[in-house]
Chains A and B, each alone.
Chain A
Amino acid sequence: MEPPLRLIAGNPLDQLARTLEALLVVASAPLPVQELAAAADDDPERVEAALGLVAERYREGRSGVVLEHVAGGWAFRASREAAEACARLFERPPQRNLSAAAMETLAIVAYLGPCSRPDIARIRGVAADSAVAGLVERGLIAEAGRDAAAGAIRYRTTPLFERVFGLESLSQLPRLDDLGADAEEIRERLDAVAERRTA
């Protein structure tokens, strides 16, 4: 049996933890430690320690609301066991419906950003205009200045991208060197076709 939902009584961080809890429940985007410390008017190290207390209280399996470190900050989300109920009540967010072209474009921007549409087209071999427009509309990428040489608008991923994909930061993406070494998908499909012919 889990202990009742309350912080350890008498903990000197108790008051601060309650303040952080309040800030996080009001916020609609992840809050970095610095921002929480400024709002709570307290020391960032104490804030981190207090966040530990809050995270312990709001964790999977213990609470319907879960505190997570995501997109460079701290934010509440629904627990996974409540996901089905949430799915019945809320529409599937448009950020989750992405075509193959959009996903490739997103990967390029996440790894090589800030980069421009011509950069993306160069790698993918097809124009990136509609894919980029769709990702901007979904809030997953945003403009980030212009290319110094060509003057084309450059794009980078947004904090929302990290949040939707559940990333603490872009550094959680797999290393580029570890990708692309395995078998080529098209060759596999060609082989499959050849096999079907001989069968």
Chain B
Amino acid sequence: MIVRELDLDLDAFEGPFDLLLTLVLKDELDLRELDVAGIVLAFLERLAEREELDLEACGEFLVLIAALLELKARGLFPDEAAEIAELEPEAAAEELARRLAEYRRMKDAAAWLRERLQREGDRFFRLGPAQLAARVETPLAPQDPEQLAQVIRLLAVEPPQVSLEHMALRFPPVLRFLERFRAVLRRRTRFDFDGEVGRLPRIEQAVAFLALLELRRSGEVTIDQAAPFAPIRVARAGEEFMNRDERTVAWNLRSA
């Protein structure tokens, strides 16, 4: 008799014993789901069918099943292993006996339930969700329909007109500021940006700034600012600022 070829028919597994071992070792079958007693009984029943006792098969089976049991026990009580190991042998045996007795009682209770279910199997009744009306603990005070109409009338007014003014923003052409700055620089070698456009609306200031950047890109002007948020000074190209010391490379990079 070859132990590994033992055919098993358990809740969690059906097939030869060696496949079961392979699955367990590969962690593809949860040992906790496995009924080890079922394997033992299957083996014993197979053994009983034989004429003579196969000692070799028994030995092999014992070794394998003991290993399985140990693995299962470790898996079931990972935290309690230490707790039980600390117990005296007698106390541990007592604890084990207590657990076995508890399980035995539940197994009997399950048998009682099964028997009861069979006896009550011919009871037919209507099943469905209990559609009981919810009991209203605080009923509403009597309501006046006219009051409801008033509230609805309040809600039924025309919504306020949405303003579309921001859609009509007009952006002046960049060209206008290009020409304006060029004209200023024809009269003066340098000027202060804020002084020139500070009184214009913000939108126009932004367009003016774009024009300034454009002038710098084409090399017509140089721009200078001592610190962030300090006045921006614009000079005609070639007309270097008198106080070069104020300028730093880092500053130029930032402003560009």
User: A residues touching B (Cβ–Cβ < 8 Å)?
Assistant: 27-29, 35, 38, 75-78, 80, 82-84, 86-87, 90, 93, 96, 98-101, 103-104, 106-108, 110-111, 121-127, 130, 160, 163-167, 173-174, 176, 179-180, 182, 184-186, 189-190, 193, 196-197
Contact = CB atoms under 8 A, between A and B. Distances in A.
Contacts of A93: 127
Interface residues of B, number: 45
A126 B34 contact: yes
B113 A123 contact: no
B11 A99 contact: yes
Contacts of A75: 125
Contacts, number: 130
Contacts of A107: 106-107, 109-110, 112-113
B120 interface: yes
24 contacts: A28-B127, A28-B130, A28-B131, A80-B123, A84-B122, A87-B124, A98-B114, A98-B117, A103-B113, A104-B106, A104-B110, A108-B106, A108-B109, A110-B109, A111-B106, A123-B102, A124-B106, A126-B35, A127-B32, A163-B125, A166-B123, A176-B105, A179-B104, A186-B37
A78 B113 contact: no
Interface string B12-46: 00000000000000000010111101000100110
B14 to A, nearest CB: 14
B110 A100 contact: yes
B124 A180 contact: no
Interface string B178-222: 000000000000000000000000000000000000000000000
B130 A104 contact: no
B108 interface: yes
Contacts of A28: 126-131
Nearest to B32: A127
A165 B114 CA distance: 9
B110 A123 contact: no
A83 B127 CA distance: 16
A173 B109 contact: yes
A167 B123 CA distance: 12
Contact of A176 (B44, B109, B130): B109
Nearest to B102: A123
A166 B117 CA distance: 8
B120 to A, nearest CB: 4
Given A189-B41, A190-B44, 15 more contacts: A38-B135, A76-B125, A87-B124, A90-B124, A96-B121, A103-B113, A107-B107, A110-B109, A111-B109, A121-B32, A127-B30, A130-B33, A163-B125, A193-B41, A193-B47
